[in-house]
């Protein structure tokens, strides 16, 4: 979803070729999201099909085709920007499943698992701190804000580990239904 709107947003600044879209998108995300050129072309074609972007000038060498935002595209972009993120929270990491499984299998002895995970989060905090520092040094305040969000998330993960560590896990923790 956000790749589609990311492309629309970049085209709002100025008409771009597929490769320029790819490069600008990756630069905007500071290397935290790699897209391949195929994805960009597929996205541009779908956007063109839906009338949200249109080619500028003549269709020649496809790689050189410039795209611009259509009024409909502008409208779709504005609407997307004005809509808050909602819906279910995305928990992508495996720790969530590990925790549930370990509660059943390890008979409530999660200490080692929690300690290892906590260490990993501490290391991640350190890495994120360095990334934030680098972003600020490079004058990328927008990127530093993104990293700040990640820092706060990881801090919450760490607090979660602490909370779990101080719990007494008994067999009642894992209801097998």
Contact code string over 108-137 relative to another protein, x by CB under 8 A: -------x--xx--xxxxxxxxxx-x----
Contact code string over 36-75 relative to another protein, x by CB under 8 A: ------xx--x-----------------------------
**Surface-to-core class of residue 143, CB atoms within 10 Å of its CB (0-12 exposed, 13-18 middle, 19+ buried):** buried
Relative orientation angle of helices 71-82 and 2-13, to the nearest 10 degrees: 120
Minimum gap (Å) between residue 63 Cβ and another protein: 21
Closest to another protein by CB, 118 vs 174, is 118
Closest to another protein by CB, 58 vs 82, is 82
Minimum gap (Å) between residue 175 Cβ and another protein: 27
Name the DSSP letter for residue 32.
Answer: S
For 144-149, the CB contacts below 8 A with 24+ separation are: 146/30, 146/32
């Amino acid at each position: 979803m956000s790749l589609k709107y990311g492309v629309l947003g970049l085209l709002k600044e100025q008409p771009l070729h597929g490769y320029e879209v790819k490069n600008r998108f990756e630069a905007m995300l500071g290397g935290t999201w790699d897209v391949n050129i195929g994805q960009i072309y597929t996205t541009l074609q779908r956007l063109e099909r839906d009338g949200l972007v249109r080619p500028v000038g003549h269709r020649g060498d496809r790689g050189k085709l410039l795209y611009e935002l259509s009024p409909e595209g502008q409208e779709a972009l504005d609407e997307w920007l004005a809509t808050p993120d909602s819906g279910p929270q995305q928990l992508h990491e495996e720790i969530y499943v590990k925790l549930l499984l370990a509660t059943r299998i390890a008979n409530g002895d999660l200490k080692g698992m929690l300690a290892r995970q906590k260490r990993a989060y501490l290391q991640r905090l350190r890495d994120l701190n360095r990334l934030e520092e680098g972003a600020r040094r490079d004058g990328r305040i927008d990127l530093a804000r993104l990293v700040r969000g990640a820092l706060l998330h990881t801090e919450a993960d760490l607090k979660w580990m602490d909370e779990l560590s101080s719990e007494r896990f008994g067999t009642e923790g894992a209801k097998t239904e």
